[in-house]
Structure 1
Amino acid sequence: MTKEQTTADGFPYTLERVLEAPVAAVWNAWTTADSYTQWSYAAPGTVEMDVRPGGAWKSTMVTPDGTKVPLTGSYAEVEVDRRLVVGMDVPGQDAQALMTVELAEQGAGGTRITVTQTCDTAEQRDMAEQGTTMLLDSLTAFLKTAA
């Protein structure tokens, strides 16, 4: 499927990486406010997480140019050390944008992380994919220093 093609479900993307950290460390980085703040471009003191199905989260992301973007949402699915489905509130839309993070053991002490999301437009997909790539780059660097 090329970037210009779509399905009836919208404009999906999938990113996959192998991280040099155990599954539990990757899960902790995604689900603990202190750890998440260190790698997710969140402003210090703005991350709140109630990691359970239906639990809310919020943070304020700081873009490379210094713009602060408040984000809110909830967790649709939580399977510890395996799967996290994160809903993000989108202004002007009733339904949340959902991003799925799946973790699997990879080799000795490694983790395969797969992030998927379906967006309403190609432009939204491209922006979301770029943002997720930046997050995965930062997570990779964080896990190397946290080890």
Structure 2
Amino acid sequence: MKITVETTVNAPIASVWEAYTTPDDIVRWNAASDDWHTTRARVDLREGGEFSSRMEAKDGSTGFDFTGIYTNVVTNRLLEYTFGDRTARIDFTEGPAGVRVVVAFDAETVNSIEQQRLGWQAILDTFRRYVEDNSS
């Protein structure tokens, strides 16, 4: 089953793309809540390139690595990747209200569909706020 989350970012497409694909930016926005953070990120932004980010609870109680391989990269438009046996697609579309970012990903079996949707949406909302606060 695919889960889809989306937001519209009021910023130029180049700023949105850069923030989504640059490790220095990723560590600043990639968290679903204030008690989590991303401590490191690595991006090899090309088809066949690997990415990873380390997400941890700020109290140090738990953490995990989110890793994958890009299968399609179209600058300012599209990212597709695999992570484990799952896939994800992120579309970036310019419009009159800003850049619409749509993330569609394969559900996993541990957490409920609603938990997954809420978590990924929270991260995307944090991304939107970060970009809007930091773009010129």
**Partner in structure 1 of residue 41 of structure 2:** 47
Q: CA RMSD in A?
A: 2.0
Contact 2:7 2:125 in 1 (8 A): no
- Structure 2: tracts of 5 or more residues without a match: 32-36
How far apart, in 1, do the equivalents of 2:41 and 2:110 lie? Answer: 29
TM-score with structure 2 length normalisation? 0.83
How far apart, in 2, do the equivalents of 1:115 and 1:135 lie? Answer: 11
Letter aligned with residue 50 of structure 1: D
**Partner in structure 2 of residue 102 of structure 1:** 91
**Partner in structure 1 of residue 27 of structure 2:** 37
**Partner in structure 2 of residue 115 of structure 1:** 103
Q: How many residues are matched?
A: 129
How far apart, in 1, do the equivalents of 2:111 and 2:58 lie? Answer: 19
Single out whichever of 60-69 and 133-142 deviates more from structure 2.
60-69
The answer to whether residue 73 in structure 2 is matched with residue 86 in structure 1 is no
* Residue 77 (structure 1) aligned to one of 72, 76, 92: 72
**SS of 1:21 mapped into structure 2:** coil
Q: Which has the higher contact order (CA 8 A, sep 6+)?
A: 2
TM-score with structure 1 length normalisation? 0.77
**SS of 1:24 mapped into structure 2:** helix
Residue 123 of structure 1 deviates from its aligned partner by: 3.8
Highest Rg: 1 or 2?
1
Alignment of 1:104-143 (within 5 A): 104-107=93-96, 110-121=98-109, 123=111, 125-143=113-131
Higher percent of residues as strand: 2
Indicate the percent of aligned positions where both proteins have the same amino acid. Answer: 28
How far apart, in 2, do the equivalents of 1:39 and 1:63 lie? Answer: 14
How far apart, in 2, do the equivalents of 1:79 and 1:124 lie? Answer: 31
**Partner in structure 1 of residue 55 of structure 2:** 61
Residue 146 of structure 1 deviates from its aligned partner by: 0.5
